[in-house]
Amino acid sequence: MKIICAHDYQDMSRKAANIISAQVIMKPNCVLGLATGGTPLGMYAQLINWYNKGDIDFSEVTTINLDEYRGLPREHEQSYWYFMHKNFFEHINIRLDHVYVPDGANTDAEKACKEYDEIIHRFGGVDMQLLGIGVDGHIGFNEPGAAFELGTHCVDLAESTIEANKRFFASADEVPRQAYTMGIKTIMQARKVLLIANGKAKAKAMRTAFFGPVTPAVPASILQMHPDLTVVADEEAWSECPEVIGQ
């Protein structure tokens, strides 16, 4: 596990963008696993900035997103498909037929998840998987208690996740109760994993995920077993980890 401590959100975003950028330069036709949420927004903005300067080319890249709300069509403003297009894909030269997000509009969960795993398999797996982390230690929508051996599957969202995500909807009632997510098995099969985090709210999750026992109670803790994991977080997110802050 490679641990990087950034000063603040902007520094975290630049460092993470550098790592993604290096991946794309080293393997222009790579498969990037991508995440939504507040954490990666600064990183996407930085990558767009470098793209505009001609420093990075996404024309051969394929992206496979972690998750999507079940029941939301692509056009819904809170769908992850919409998020990715608005915040990243529309601003770079990625081919839109190279972009994959689980099909939230397909309410046949078994079919939607099976098709997604087939897509990942068809591309030979993910070269670099980007992850954020939930306040309860979730990754993707793999909530505490999630089995480590699952591929893409349908999950019921935890109350804490509905609570955290309601800021994007008119009310908590409108947050979908289920989602399709890559499973822990899918995530662990990525050749490289890059997890990013910022802010005090994540401090406890960072401590239990990276300096506690590996347990399904903290889904991100399994990442300690990944052979090529990089964690970039700011000082606030590391604030409960003296092992890092003291370095």
- Residues annotated as part of the active site: 67, 136, 138, 143
Say how far apart CA 82 and CA 63 lie, in whole Å: 14
The least CB distance from residue 105 to ligand F6R, in Å, is 17
Exposure on the CB side of residue 71, measured as CA atoms within 13 A? 9
SS3 (DSSP) at 151: coil
Residues 51-80 that bind ligand F6R (CB under 6 A): 66-67
CB nearer to ligand F6R: give 123 or 168. 168
Residue closer to ligand F6R, measured from CB, 57 or 148: 148
CA distance 107 to 97: 22
Q: How far is the CB of 150 from ligand F6R (least distance, A)?
A: 15
Are 48 and 145 in contact, with CB atoms under 8 Å apart?
A: no
Query: Any contact of residue 35 with ligand F6R (CB under 6 A)?
Result: yes
User: 140-159: which residues touch ligand F6R (CB under 6 A)?
Assistant: 140-141
| Composition of the chain by helix, strand, coil, percent to 5 | 40, 20, 40
Nearer to ligand F6R, 61 or 157 (CB): 157
**CB-based burial label for 143 (10 Å; 0-12, 13-18, 19+):** buried
Q: Of 33-41, 93-101, 183-191, 229-237, which segment contacts ligand F6R by CB under 6 A?
A: 33-41
CB nearer to ligand F6R: give 16 or 35.
35
- Interacting span for ligand F6R (CB under 6 A) from 101-109, 118-126, 131-139, 218-226: 131-139
CB 79, CB 73: distance < 8 Å: yes
Judged by CB under 6 A, which of 139, 146, 223, 229 binds ligand F6R? 139
**Could you list the residues that contact ligand F6R (CB under 6 A)?**
35-39, 66-67, 132-134, 138-141
